[in-house]
């Protein structure tokens, strides 16, 4: 591989890492704000959105995944947190307009 391609690839990976780190930081600040705000609200008024940032194995792409949160069970017997993944499919058209189609994926139990 040409040396300049290796240099450009390293530069792009570095920039992507910086975007990833900034997105993770934003996610942590968002989660902290939601937790602080939810403490003073009734269950029916609490924010139920969460997101996480992921980088693929070869560190060439990042994604942001949104989830809705719900709790099941009673506090005394141990509630379980369930996340429902919110999928967004973007479809590009030839005229450069794009539309988004949001779909909720069945619930996933876990953290």
**CB distance 53 to 24 below 8 Å:** yes
Q: How many CB atoms lie within 10 A of CB 53?
A: 18
The whole-number average pLDDT for the span 85-97 is 61
pLDDT tens figures, 31-58: 899 889 988 888 778 888 888 898 888 8
Q: Which backbone phi and psi does 45 adopt, to 5 degrees?
A: -110, 0
Rg over CA atoms, the chain = 19
Question: pTM, whole model, 2 decimals?
Answer: 0.65
Indicate the pLDDT class of residue 91, thresholds 50, 70 and 90: low
pLDDT score of 65 more than 80: yes
**CB distance 69 to 82 below 8 Å:** yes
Give the residue carrying structure tokens 């609490």: 46
């Amino acid at each position: 591989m040409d040396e300049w391609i290796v240099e450009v690839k390293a530069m792009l990976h570095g920039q992507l890492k910086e975007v990833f780190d900034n997105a993770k930081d934003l996610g942590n600040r968002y989660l902290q704000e939601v937790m602080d705000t939810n403490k003073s609200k009734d269950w029916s008024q609490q924010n139920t959105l969460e997101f996480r940032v992921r980088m693929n194995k070869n560190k060439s792409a990042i994604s942001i995944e949104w989830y809705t949160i719900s709790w099941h069970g009673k506090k005394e017997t141990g509630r379980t947190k369930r996340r429902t993944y919110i999928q967004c499919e973007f479809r590009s058209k030839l005229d450069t307009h794009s539309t988004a189609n949001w779909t909720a994926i069945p619930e996933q139990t876990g953290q």
